């Protein structure tokens, strides 16, 4: 037998040290695609769902993995939906930082099998630089209010990556088409994209245009982030287009805001991956222009 652990609460998972007992509820079923029996075990307390373990009644690891690949999204989204409907409060399983990836563990064993131990290391809190806060307040004029509406959601790392990606897209849509939902046909947008060809061209399909790649990603994000690639394609590139294009989208968003004529201050936005390379911890740095 194999099991799949789906981490819903990092803190609770760490405290258990790989040992899970007394599930609050269980549901037996069958995988039609793999023709194996499965059992879903839900762990938690009186007020919170903490963990999901799925028992896979097969001794074949490839069959277990295929069953997980075919059903993982359905299991998770069904659990999230049922929990929200029951409790009336927001609920989602844990995702890895700055990604749309679930934290899952596939292992051999049954209901009482010991899982992995997990530990998280947190960065030390950084004192707020209130000078930069004030400079940020003065950095953008009123004409950028709609851009900032989307940008604020784009940079909020507490939000799911797909939601953040869409808000970056919507900012471009507002900027280039006045929110007319016709971004692919904007000549100015296509010209802007050309500046980032070096970043995006490795992911283009045969005869695909840059704006076509962005639209392909938007469709992936807007339609439940379903990845229809073959197992071989996923093995070569585990990340989907959402994760692949996000760093470039971040660079594009910040370039647009830095170059906007309504920018009034002396702060220059810098993509976080560049900041890490430079040893800077914030999303803005001082500029001389």
Lowest mean pLDDT among 67-76, 223-232, 263-272: 223-232
Q: What is residue 30's three-state secondary structure?
A: strand
Residues with Cβ within 8 Å of residue 126, at least 6 apart in sequence: 281, 282
Structure confidence at residue 282 (pLDDT): 36
pLDDT band at 227 (very low <50, low <70, confident <90, very high): low
Going by pLDDT thresholds of 50, 70 and 90, the confidence category of residue 287 is very low
Alpha helical stretches, state H, 88-160? 130-137, 145-154
134-146 pLDDT per residue, tens: 888 888 888 889 9
pLDDT band at residue 260 using 50, 70 and 90 as cut-offs: very high
pLDDT reading at 27 higher than 50: yes
Q: Are strands 2-7 and 104-108 parallel, antiparallel or unpaired?
A: antiparallel
Percent of the chain past pLDDT 70, that is, above it, reads 87
- pLDDT tens digits, one per residue of 77-111: 999 999 999 999 999 999 887 667 789 999 999 99
What per-residue string of b and e applies to 124-152 under the rule 16 or more CB within 10 Å gives b? eeeeeeeebeeebeebbeeebeebeebbe
Segment 248-252 mean pLDDT: 96
Taking only the tens place, the pLDDT of each residue in 162-213 is 899 999 999 999 999 986 788 999 999 999 999 999 999 999 989 999 999 9
Q: Is 9 helix (H, G, I), strand (E, B) or coil?
A: coil
Looking at residue 285, its pLDDT comes to 43
| pLDDT given for residue 226 in this prediction | 58
Q: What is the pLDDT of residue 233?
A: 55
Model pLDDT, residue 133: 87
What is the Cα–Cα distance from 185 to 202, expressed in whole angstroms? Answer: 23
Between CA 90 and CA 277 the distance in angstroms is: 36
- Determine the average pLDDT of the residues in 231-257: 78
pTM: 0.69
Strand partners, 268: 285
Average pLDDT, the chain: 86
Residue 152 has pLDDT above 70, yes or no: yes
User: Of 7-11, 95-99, 116-120, 163-167, which range is least confident?
Assistant: 95-99
Give pLDDT, residue 125. 82
The 3-state secondary structure of 149-217, one letter per residue: HHHHHHCCCCCCHHHHHHHHHHHHHHHHHCCCCCHHHCHHHHHHHHCCHHHHHHHCCCCCCHHHHHHHH
Quick one: pLDDT at residue 265?
77
Look at residue 132 in the predicted model and tell me its pLDDT. Answer: 85
- Cβ(270)–Cβ(280) under 8 Å? yes
């Amino acid at each position: 037998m194999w099991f799949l652990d789906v981490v819903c609460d990092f803190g609770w998972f760490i405290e258990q040290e790989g040992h899970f007992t007394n599930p609050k509820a269980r549901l037996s079923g069958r995988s039609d695609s793999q023709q194996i029996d499965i059992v879903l075990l839900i762990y938690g307390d009186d007020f919170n769902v903490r963990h999901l373990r799925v028992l896979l009644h097969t001794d074949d690891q490839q069959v277990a993995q295929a069953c997980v690949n075919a059903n993982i999204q359905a299991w998770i989204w069904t659990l999230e939906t049922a929990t929200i409907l029951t409790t009336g409060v927001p609920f989602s399983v844990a995702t890895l930082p700055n990604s749309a990836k679930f934290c899952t563990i596939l292992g051999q064993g049954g209901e009482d099998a010991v899982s992995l131990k997990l530990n998280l290391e947190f960065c030390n809190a950084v004192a707020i630089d209130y000078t930069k806060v004030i400079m940020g307040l003065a950095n953008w004029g009123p004409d950028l209010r709609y851009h900032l509406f989307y940008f604020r959601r784009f940079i909020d790392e507490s939000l799911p990556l797909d939601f953040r990606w869409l808000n970056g897209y919507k900012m471009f849509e507002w900027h280039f088409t006045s929110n007319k939902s016709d971004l692919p046909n904007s000549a100015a947008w296509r010209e802007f994209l050309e500046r980032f060809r070096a970043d995006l061209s490795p992911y283009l399909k045969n005869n695909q245009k840059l704006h076509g790649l962005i639209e392909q990603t938007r469709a992936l994000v807007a339609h439940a982030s379903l990845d229809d690639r073959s197992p071989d394609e996923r093995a070569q590139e585990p990340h989907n287009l959402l994760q692949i294009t996000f760093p470039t989208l971040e660079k594009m968003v910040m370039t647009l805001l830095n170059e906007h004529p309504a920018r009034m201050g002396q702060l220059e936005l810098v993509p976080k991956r560049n900041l890490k390379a430079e040893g800077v911890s914030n999303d803005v740095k001082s500029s001389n222009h």
